[in-house]
Structure 1
């Protein structure tokens, strides 16, 4: 089973480091995942064995592929049995529209808390699980696909109404 982890185009060293830690890799392995693809963006990895542009390695019973960027992550999301992501709105919507199980980890180093707000709202609706770096292993271990509520298909009228309401037009 495959886990795809993405941090988008930004730098989220803490999520990248946590993902390749013994604790998270062991938790993934014990949960039945044997492959990990990690899109690291501009993140810096302290371990020299991972500090190449592209890297493939086996660690703690998990086959790991790491790379910085590709023109699209659609294929990786489509193949994944689980996606773990930063809480960027574009990535969240893309993954949920594919119907993939999603764990999001908001980046606490960002200037505002929009990632935290979005992750919390979508978790309350049941579409994903939100967690912190510290709680990532326990969230993976307790993750239940059957607990997720399918994300509704896109309806442009609802979005435009929401924007109009937020902007004070109605």
Structure 2
């Protein structure tokens, strides 16, 4: 997890974060690596490169952020462009980390994030902590054309 969120994540147990979508006073968005191992990999690598684990929701920027982050992206393995910070956040856009992921994961992520925003009651302008569940399932290599997720559901809202 990104350094800025580690202290906040220690405020609660994994069970509390997963059931209440809160760690203390911080709202939580959970990304399940069992369902989205390559997206979880991109997030994990982004944290290692200094991207924040606490993001601010701003859906008005979604189209512009996605265009800025993925405009030069060329899929090499039939996948899709994934960006972190999420396109629906202030931190998305031209500074986002991008990586190729399976198209199924990209579709899954859209539904999962929308569902997470609703579960945690994350409104426009609200900050939230990104947490990866099932971290042992994070992909260890980049997407090479094979979807390796344990759970391969098109729409996989948590």
TM-score by length of 2: 0.24
Bigger RCO of structures 1 and 2 (CA < 8 A, at least 6 apart): 2
